[in-house]
Amino acid sequence: MKKSILILGVIGLMSITACQDDTVKITSLDKVTNITYSDGIITFNEVANAEGYNISFTHLEVVIYEDQIEDTTIDVSSIGLEGTITFEVSAYYQDIESEVATYSFDVLTEFGDVTFEAENYLYNFGTGKEQSNFRNNPQASNGAYVGGIDDAGQGVYINYLSPKAGTFKFDCYYTTDQEPAQNEVWINGEYQTTFHFTEKTGWGGATYEPAKAEVEITLVEGWNTISIFKNGDASNNYGSYAELDYFVLHGDKSTYNVDNLIKYGDHPTTYILEAEMGSPRKDGTVKNPAIVNDSYSNKFCLGGIEKCFDGVEWHFNSETKAKYTIDVAYSSGQFDGSKLPAPSIIVTQEAISPARSMQLIVDGYEIQTFEGLEYTSNWGVFTLTDQQLEITLEEGDNYIYCILLTGLEENGVTVDSGFFQLDYANLTYIEDIE
Ligand SMILES: [Ca+2]
Ligand SMILES: [Ca+2]
C-alpha cells in the first residue's frame, strides 16, 4: 500500500491539472498545517488549491527519501526509517510553492530476536590447528559451523551492541556426539552461565541436525563481549566436545530509538583478543594448552612459547580498512639470565602456514617486535607492554600473529626473543584508512 500511494499521487496530480479552472488565478499557497505521525502514518491537512506536495524525510542530515505526492496521508513504514526523522513538506501549484513546514518524529525500533552465526565470530579461525575450526556444511545455518573446539579456552567471541540493558534468553544451536558437553558463557570478561549440551546429535556430516541449548544472559546497554568457550579441567575432559552452529538472542520486544546508540560508535574502540582463543602455534606436534587461573583475563593464558615460531594466531575481521594499535599482556619469569622476552607481531590477509607444527615462512612480511621488555615478577603475573605497535588491518579477514622469533634477521633487524606467555592482546581502533 505504501509505495502505491506515492505512485497514485503522481497519476492523480495529472488529472487535477487537467481539471483546473484557468479563470481562477492562484498566486500563493498556504503552509501545510496539522502534521501528525502515529503508527507509521504521517497525515496533514489539505492545502486549498494545491496540486500536490513536495515531501522529504531526513535522518542525521541525510535525505532518506523525497517525492512529490498528491495524498495527505503517507504510510512511511515501507521507507525503512529509523531514529529521529525530520519531515519537510510544501504544497505546490504549477510553479508556485508554499513555505516549507517542518515536523520531527521518532520511528522506534523493536528489540526482537538477533541471530549470530558462530562461524562469523571466530578469533581462532583454526589454521594453526591440524583441522580448521571453520567448517562448511550446506545444511548448517549460513552454510557453516564451528568445530574443533578441542582445548580449554577455545571458542567464539561475539561483540554485540545491545540497545537495552537487561537479562535475555540466549539459545545455542549445537551438535555433539559426546554428550553431555558444556561451554561456559562469559559476558564482558565475567562468568555468567553454562550451556549444557545434553542431546546426542552426532557430528556435522552428511546429516546435520543441531539441537538447542538455552541460557539467560545479562547485558549492558552498549557494546558487550559475549564469549562462549570450553572450560573445565582434565577431570571432565574440559567439558567434552561440541560444535557450534548459531546463537539467538531474544530481545524483550521493547522499542528504542536507534539514535540513542550513536554514542557507542559503529564498533568497539578496543577489542580484547584472548591468547587462549587464538589458535596456538607450537613447534612440534604437541599442543600448547591454555593454563587456567582465575587471575587471568577470561581465566586462561597460553604458555609454553619457547621456540622460534611458537605463539598465537588470531583471525580477526575488521569492518573497515583501518589503523589499529596492539599491545599484549605477557609474562616472562627469569630462568637463568637468558634472553629477555620480545614478542613479534605479523599481520597478513592469509594464513602463513597451514599447521601449527610447521615453521612459519616469514620472509616478505613486515615484522614488528616489542623491544626492551622486562621480566615480570614471576610467570603467573602478566603485564601490558608499555609500547603499542601500530598495525594496518584490511577490511574483512586478517591474521594477526604474536610469535617468538629467535636469531631471525628480517629487513636488517635481528630478533632474538626469550620465552614468554600471553594472556591477551588489546587491539585498539585508531582510524579508517582510505
Ligand atoms: Ca552457522
Ligand atoms: Ca586470557
- pLDDT digit string (tens) for 96-137? 999 999 999 999 999 999 999 998 887 654 444 545 678 889
293 close to 301: Cβ distance less than 8 angstroms? yes
Binned at pLDDT 50, 70 and 90, residue 214 comes out as: very high
Q: Which of 405, 222, 384, 411 is nearest to 306 (CA)?
A: 405
State which residues form the domain around 166. 109-265
For the CA of 277, the nearest ligand = 2
Q: Are residues 40 and 130 in the same domain?
A: no
pLDDT, tens digit (0-9, with 9 covering 90-100), for 387-434: 999 999 999 889 899 988 888 776 666 789 999 999 999 999 999 998
Q: Are residues 159 and 213 in the same domain?
A: yes
Number of structural domains, the chain?
3
For the CA of 296, the nearest ligand = 2
Neighbours of 381 (CB within 10 A): 12
Please tell me the total number of residues recorded for the chain in this structure: 434
Decide if pLDDT at 78 tops 90: no
Residue 382 CA to ligand 2 center (angstroms) comes to 10
Decide if pLDDT at 291 tops 60: yes
pLDDT at 255: 97
Phi first, then psi: give them for residue 16, nearest 5 degrees. Answer: -65, -40
96 close to 27: Cβ distance less than 8 angstroms? yes
For the CA of 136, the nearest ligand = 1
Count helices and strands (H / E) in the chain. Answer: 1, 34
Decide if pLDDT at 341 tops 80: yes
User: Between these two residues, 229 and 277, which has the higher pLDDT value?
Assistant: 229
Q: Are residues 114 and 147 in the same domain?
A: yes
Q: Are residues 128 and 70 in the same domain?
A: no
Q: Are residues 18 and 158 in the same domain?
A: no
* Residues in the 5 Å CB sphere of ion ligand 1: 117, 140-142, 145, 245-246
Residue 276 CA to ligand 2 center (angstroms) comes to 6
Q: Are residues 97 and 174 in the same domain?
A: no
Q: Are residues 227 and 279 in the same domain?
A: no
For the CA of 330, the nearest ligand = 2
345 close to 371: Cβ distance less than 8 angstroms? no
129 close to 289: Cβ distance less than 8 angstroms? no
Please give the Cα distance from 6 to 73 (Å, whole number): 10
For the CA of 244, the nearest ligand = 1
pLDDT at 411: 62
Q: Are residues 231 and 273 in the same domain?
A: no
For the CA of 117, the nearest ligand = 1
* Boundary (domain end) residue, out of 60, 88, 107: 107
* Boundary (domain end) residue, out of 265, 288, 314: 265
Side-chain half-sphere exposure of 166, counting CA atoms within 13 A: 13
Residue 145 CA to ligand 1 center (angstroms) comes to 4
pLDDT at 425: 96
Q: Are residues 234 and 322 in the same domain?
A: no
Per the prediction, the chain carries an average pLDDT of 86
For the CA of 122, the nearest ligand = 1
Q: Are residues 160 and 308 in the same domain?
A: no
Decide if pLDDT at 180 tops 60: yes
Q: Are residues 60 and 153 in the same domain?
A: no
Q: Which cell numbers hold the place of 419? A: 620465552
For the CA of 142, the nearest ligand = 1
Element (H, E) at 75: strand 73-75
Residue 109 CA to ligand 2 center (angstroms) comes to 36
Phi first, then psi: give them for residue 260, nearest 5 degrees. Answer: -70, -15
Q: Are residues 390 and 306 in the same domain?
A: yes
367 close to 400: Cβ distance less than 8 angstroms? no
Q: What CATH code is carried by the domain that includes residue 412?
A: 2.60.120.260
Q: What CATH code is carried by the domain that includes residue 36?
A: 2.60.40.10
pLDDT at 124: 58
Binned at pLDDT 50, 70 and 90, residue 290 comes out as: confident
* Boundary (domain end) residue, out of 107, 133, 163: 107
Residue 383 CA to ligand 2 center (angstroms) comes to 12
Decide if pLDDT at 93 tops 90: yes
CA separation (Å) from 7 to 11, 13, 146? 7, 10, 48
pLDDT, tens digit (0-9, with 9 covering 90-100), for 318-331: 889 999 999 999 99
Q: What percent of the chain has pLDDT over 70?
A: 84
